[in-house]
Structure formats: structure tokens, C-alpha cells
Structure 1
């Protein structure tokens, strides 16, 4: 029997094929489930694709799912551990919250000198 890391890699490869319709009909439900399985088996890079799904970046969703769901996306990215792509997406998800928090703080101060600089890349 294959080790968990190898099984995780295989599950991620199957998820890629199901998502892209490579060698099979595209099946988003299977892709989402296989990325989750890959992640459970320790293949942390699967967290990135799973997070993208929950952000609504696949362009469509599996039946019954409501995307985007930033909470589920953040949960997936957090499971990616030290994966740089996951960390970047987490930062991108947090940015609007942090800006809104800063705006509310400025409004509470009612200061004419309160300036908020926000850069979108």
C-alpha cells in the first residue's frame, strides 16, 4: 500500500484532471473532494486549489455549493501551512477587512487629519 504522501499526490493529480477535464469529463464535485482528500493525506499544496475554489476562482461551483465563501477559502489556505501561495491568498482575503477596520477607526476619531492610504496591486 502506498504511503500517505504518495496517496496525497495521486489524489491531487486526480483532482487536477477532474477540474480541468483532462482525460475525463470535468467534474467539479470530484475535484473539490479529491483536493480535500489530498490535503487530509498531507499534500499541503492542494490547499491552494481548494481555497481558489471557495473564493469562486474556478469560474463555477459544484451543485449545492455557494461560492465565493471567504471563510471556507481562508480555512483551506490556513491548512496549507507554510505554502507561500496560500499565505499570499490569505493576505489578499484579509486586506479588505483590515482596510474597513481602519476606516471605521478613522470615523470614530472624527479627525480631519485621519488619512487612509490603500494600494491595490
Structure 2
């Protein structure tokens, strides 16, 4: 059990630090769309799709790596709570169009990235 907790902890901490760095570096690039949050969500969606497809094929890999990458790293990297707060801030500022665009790009983009990664990494046999 301790190994499982450590895997999730290490992955989660690493993903969280990367999310923070992306936000600090990229969010100032656009006045309404938090580009760092979007990047974290799209990257996390792609990584989890790739990871799930890859681990599904590589059954000999220690399951601890799957926990570290999917539950830990991707869980720490992706930012549904931050995303939700940023949408609320846009709505509170009366920027309804930007809020809707932000929701659409984050949600549809994340689904597309996950599906693309699963397709790419399932086909790469």
C-alpha cells in the first residue's frame, strides 16, 4: 500500500508543479483565456490517453507506473477546479463569450486529445 501511495504522491506532485509552471509562464499571454490552464488540460488529456493505451498493451510493466502517470501525474497536471474557477471569474467580469469559448476549448480539446492519443498509441503496435 505504501508503494501505491508513493507512486500517486510523486506523480501528483510532479504534475502539480508542471501545472503551476505552465500557469505562471503562459497565462499572461492572453487577456481572457488562461493559456497555461488550457495547455495543462490538453497535455494531461493527451498523456492519459497515451498512457492508458500503452499500459493496456504493455501488460508486463509494473502497474505502479500506471498509477504514477495516470492517477498521479495527470491528476496533478489537469486542472478542473482551476478551470472552473477561471470560468466563474470570466462570468463575474461579464465576459460571457470568453467564458463559453474557454469551456468549449478546454472540454472539447481535452476529449479530442485523449481520443487522438488513444488512437495513435493503440495503432502504434
TM-score range (shorter-chain normalised) is 0.3 to 0.5
Q: Could you state the TM-score of these two structures normalised by the residue count of structure 2?
A: 0.32
Question: Which is greater in Rg?
Answer: 1
Q: Could you state the TM-score of these two structures normalised by the residue count of structure 1?
A: 0.32
- Give 1 or 2: higher helix fraction: 2
